[in-house]
Chains A and B, each alone.
Chain A
Amino acid sequence: MKGLKISKKNLLIIAIVVALFIILGSLIPGFLSIKNLLNIVRQSSIIAIVACGMTMVIIIKGIDLSVTGVLSFCAMVNGLLLLKGWPIPLAMLAGLAVGTLMGLFNGLMVEKLGIPAFITTLVVGNVGGGLALLLNAGKSIGGFPAPYVFMGNGTILGVPVSNYIMILFVVVTSILMSKTRLGVYIYAMGGNETVVKQQGISTATINFFVYGFSGFCIAMAGILLSGQLDTVHPTQGEPYQLDAIAACVIGGVSMLGGEGKVYFALIGALIIGVQRNALNLLGIHPFYQNIFVGIIIIVIVALNIHQKRRTIEHSKIF
């Protein structure tokens, strides 16, 4: 019964994607060229990587609103260190560490003080945004070492390096979620926190891991983005907040917690990427894209909640 429902939902997503491609392919010359498609995937990789962490956070009924600030800040830390002549891996490690720490801090606030996730992540995001501006007095930086830029823009076997990194993230996250204890606990916590506590599973571990991992993903996305653009601008993370949430929501990650698959969040990210790319090619201004994404999020969440309420209503018996 359930298997059928899931596949129905999946089929729907796939059908939408196929229809989207057919329509866009016939509308826009060059849209379906391999080059453009790979380019879309490359652009989507940032969203997809952020969505990996975001999926987990939403599964435990949280949300991460720190994307904008943390993404820019980590990229800035990493970028400045690179320009100072630090070795690439070390600079990246520093950026990733900063992101992870900020995520862990979110986990701490949620777990220990019971502060709503949307507030603590909003605050941490703003601190990050402020620090990103502060670090280089609000100015952009650029001109990174060639191997670093290669990570963002180069190709291996004709496929952008970014895409490999994205696939690595998606696969690792997916394995983590479906094949490890921690993954089961994350789902369990989204489904029924009481049971999790009763079984003696530490919710602190889950909160720390999930928010920390989300911070890590955001940092990675920031670093990759700076490689793609060969620039770090202190407010560069701006669009990715909404896009990452949209990717999750489109991919069927439920805001009510407990449900969602990383693979589908990836599809969600690609849909967002396609949407942005196509509207760009069609000459439609990004402003419309924001409106579109905003509406999509609200509508899908509303439908999700409505459906849930109906099932609860129907399950009432005497």
Chain B
Amino acid sequence: MSTTQLLFSEKVRRFVKRNGSVVIFLILAIIASIFVKNFFALNNFLTIIKQAAIPIIACLGITLVLMTGGIDLSLGYTLGLCSITVGLLVKGVGLPIWLSIFITLLVGLLVGFINGILVQVVKVPAFIVTLGTGYIIFGIAQIVSSGSDINRLPANFRAIGVTNIFGLNTTVLISLIICVVMYYLLHHSTFGRSLSAFGFNAKAARMSGIKTERLNISVYMICSFLVAIAAILLTIRVNCAQPTMGGGVYTFEVITGAIIGGASLFGGIGTVIGSVFGVLTIKVLENCINLLNVSYYTYQAFQGIVILLAIIFENVKNRRL
């Protein structure tokens, strides 16, 4: 009797420790429901989920990268590159939709491959590599698009992201599927286990027979691949392909989500549920700021303070435990 109780409390403690962002999210949501007018409404919740769906995809990508102890500062620019790529292919070149999407995803994979090779093989620190490639990618996106946006995308292309199936928006649905896949990958497959081991102790992982070299490169590729998916969905959502879509601000937002979600900056730790609720937390904040009619810019500054608190909190917690 007492042992099962103990186990249960232990389980709760572990859940809270691992998924602190769920708790943060719930507390924030309750506070918002009480104090912010119009917050507690089904429609508003659906809006939040819709807004979170796309960043969640990218956030799961950066979560993997953070778990290796690396970082991808080029994320936002990759988003822009993929956005303009898919826009150009679909509307400018007029390729079939499936082919355009396929090529865009390949572009994402290629960016990730280059980042991964530079980090793993050339051994340049990840923040330098991705800072550099970020600017390069941004430049390429601008050149490809000649600096202009592509508006009014074909309806059959947009249908991918804006159709409703069983009352659920396809974008949300795709995001959900990706969450499930990533959950399996991270928490139920040897990939996730290897990734954790690599992030905590690369040497021991390699000497235990984990192909750390391949793993490290693949993580950057998965990240950019997910970013490419996010880019396609976002392009559909705003009905406009822009080279400036994403950018540094987007990178930052996604990293914030992962860190609130408990991903460690030193590698090894990261969860799907954590990151999902990390993004939801930011989106609730954004939503409240909207509802309260405060300037959007408050949100941007506020977000930085939230991430700082998350980092400090994480640090203090780790020292205690």
Contact = CB atoms under 8 A, between A and B. Distances in A.
Interface of A: 63, 65, 68, 109, 113-116, 118-120, 122-124, 126-127, 129-131, 133-134, 137-138, 242, 245, 255, 285, 287-291, 293-295, 297-298, 301-302, 305-306, 309
B136 A129 contact: no
Contacts of A293: 135
A239 to B, nearest CB: 9
Contact of A242 (B135, B142, B249): B135
A217 B132 CA distance: 22
Contact of A290 (B138, B252, B295, B302): B138
Tell me if A's interface is mostly helix, strand, loop or mixed. helix
Contacts of B131: 65, 242, 245, 294, 297
A298 B118 contact: yes
Interface stretch (B121-129, B183-191, B214-222): B121-129
A150 B131 CA distance: 35
A238 to B, nearest CB: 8
B128 A130 contact: no
Interface of B: 71, 73, 118, 122-125, 127-129, 131-136, 138-140, 142-143, 147, 248-249, 252, 255, 265, 295, 297-305, 307-308, 311-312, 315
Contacts of B125: 255, 301
B101 to A, nearest CB: 25
A291 B304 contact: no
Q: Which of A120, A130, A288 has the most CB of B within 10 A?
A: A130
A309 B123 contact: yes
A219 B252 CA distance: 22
Contact of B122 (A115, A285, A291, A302): A302
Given A65-B131, A305-B122, A113 B71 contact: no
A247 to B, nearest CB: 14
The 3 A-B residue pairs whose C-beta atoms are closest, nearest first, are: A130-B301, A130-B300, A127-B304
A114 B266 CA distance: 10
Contacts of A255: 125, 128
A17 B277 CA distance: 52
